[in-house]
Structure 1
Amino acid sequence: MTGHPHGQEHRAGGGTGRLADDFFLMAHEESTGKPRLAERIAGLGLAGALLGELALAERIELRDGTVAVLDSSPREDALSGRVLEFLKQEQHPTRTWLAFFGQSAHVEVGRRLIDDGLLVREARKRPWQGGRWLPTSVDVAVRPTALLCTQLIRGQDLEPRDLVLIGLLRATGLDQPVLWEVRQSRPAALRRAAQLLGSLRASLVELITQTEAAVGSAIAAHRL
């Protein structure tokens, strides 16, 4: 993380096991690494996912547009720990935190995936071009999407982590390219998932709502 102000634990058989890592992989085409979202929108989604990792672990609570630290004990994951350190040191509205973390979340989460051996960074072909984040395996890159779509199509129970991921996909518009198969084959599953979002803890609903509002503001500002 750069400047001021500025997981969920691994799950057997479920994507990468980290909310922001799964969102990152979903936000890029599996074979080419091409982004599916504008950089600023992706950054806000990833920032929301990083806060979501801490909220799901009940390390932080989001309420009334603010973030409160509930448990500041060290995290095993270095990135999650750095996010928590920023939240401990200063107080800002949730939207400010989303904007701040969103500036570097793409690089930070990408590096975490590189450290886990799931991505490599493509070298720049020209000085003014940014290198792409390429998956080391298409199978690994597509796994979070395949898992979530399978759960929805089969009508399987969705954990809070799954619902938060769906909420962040909806908040950023990433649900359109990622969940197209579900939309075509079982649209009722998406309606059910949308209803279930309201059953999440208030802190998690707040996270999704604040991320959606931040994305909306970013899109509106771009259009001005």
Structure 2
Amino acid sequence: MLLADDFFLIAHDDRDGKSRLSARAVELGLAGAMLGELVLEQRILVEGPRLRVINRDPPSDPLSHTNLATMVAEVQHREVRTWLMFLGRTAVEAVGQRLARVGLVEQTQVRRLLRSETRWLPTDINLPAGRVVRLRRLLTGIEPMRVADTTLAGLAEATGLTGHVMWDRDPALARRLQQAIATLPPPLRDLILQVESAVGDSVMSQRG
């Protein structure tokens, strides 16, 4: 499963599709995950607050292909924060549609007072819960963590999803998570830091 797909499923309730985070945190987390997919595919490189395209060959995934093509066309924009904001605006729809195309979620409209809200319901309610359990098993050391798994865990930490995965707040798990993030390649560590900073700024602006 691709990085943003995993984040999407963990970030939404398996019963009603409701977001576990603020809308902005989910958008920024998904945007970070989509950028992470391109880093993992060795199409872009994140260096501190900036990024650059290092390989223009189109990825096999259509959404990643579209994202990379947009970045190539807008090569003058190199700030990670700019791309988090840009991709975040359509991230839920884009990743939801990708999951829907392979039959893992279904789009539905939920009435809320005077407006309706789009939600993405899993076709198998065990799938999102299973992704949460899998990530927890990785963090406890029961299964080995790949780079993509550690990146997912880092994005969960950066956006505030960790409490959903580590529901008992085990200090040993928290330490293991931080140790795992510290072993990531610098481009992925820098990406996680940028997502965390963007989410923090979003929280502060809402309070202001």
Tell me, yes or no, whether TM beats 0.5: yes
| Structure 2 match to 1:213 | 197
Question: Does the 8 Å contact 1:120/1:136 carry over to 2?
Answer: yes
Question: Does the 8 Å contact 2:36/2:191 carry over to 1?
Answer: yes
Once the two structures are overlaid, the 10-residue window that deviates more, 95-104 or 122-131, is: 122-131
The whole-number CA distance in structure 1 between the counterparts of 2:94 and 2:120 is 12
The answer to whether the aligner puts 1:173 opposite 2:160 as a matched pair is yes
* Amino acid of the structure 1 residue aligned with 2:184: L
Alpha-carbon offset, residue 66 of structure 1: 1.2
Deviation sequence 1:192-224 (CA, Å, 0-9, x none): 221121111110111001000111111111111
Return the match for 1:120 from 106, 112, 120: 106
Q: How does 1:39-54 map to 2 (within 5 A)?
A: 39-54=23-38
Alpha-carbon offset, residue 37 of structure 1: 0.8
The whole-number CA distance in structure 1 between the counterparts of 2:140 and 2:186 is 27
State the SS of the aligned residue for 2:42.
coil
Return the match for 1:76 from 60, 78, 103: 60
| Structure 2 match to 1:10 | none
Q: Could you say if the C-alpha distance between residues 155 and 140 of structure 1 is closer, same or farther in structure 2, counting changes exceeding 3 Å?
A: closer
| Structure 2 match to 1:131 | 118
Gaps of 5+ in 2: none
User: Identity of aligned pairs, percent?
Assistant: 40
* Amino acid of the structure 2 residue aligned with 1:175: T
Alpha-carbon offset, residue 115 of structure 1: 0.5
Question: Does the 8 Å contact 2:135/2:165 carry over to 1?
Answer: no
The structure with the greater share of residues assigned to strand is: 2
* Amino acid of the structure 2 residue aligned with 1:197: I
Deviation sequence 1:117-165 (CA, Å, 0-9, x none): 0000113436612132100001222221111112223443211111111
Aligned-pair RMSD on alpha carbons? 1.5
Return the match for 1:65 from 28, 42, 49: 49
The whole-number CA distance in structure 2 between the counterparts of 1:63 and 1:219 is 25
Q: How does 1:1-224 map to 2 (within 5 A)?
A: 17-90=1-74, 91-92=76-77, 93-125=79-111, 128-181=115-168, 183-184=169-170, 187-224=171-208
The whole-number CA distance in structure 2 between the counterparts of 1:152 and 1:52 is 19
Gaps of 5+ in 1: 1-16
State the SS of the aligned residue for 2:121.
strand
Alpha-carbon offset, residue 87 of structure 1: 1.2
Deviation sequence 1:83-138 (CA, Å, 0-9, x none): 11111111321101101101110110001010010000113436612132100001
Q: How many residue pairs align between the two structures?
A: 205
**Segments of 4+ in structure 1 off by > 3 A?**
124-127
Question: Does the 8 Å contact 1:67/1:87 carry over to 2?
Answer: no
* Amino acid of the structure 2 residue aligned with 1:151: L
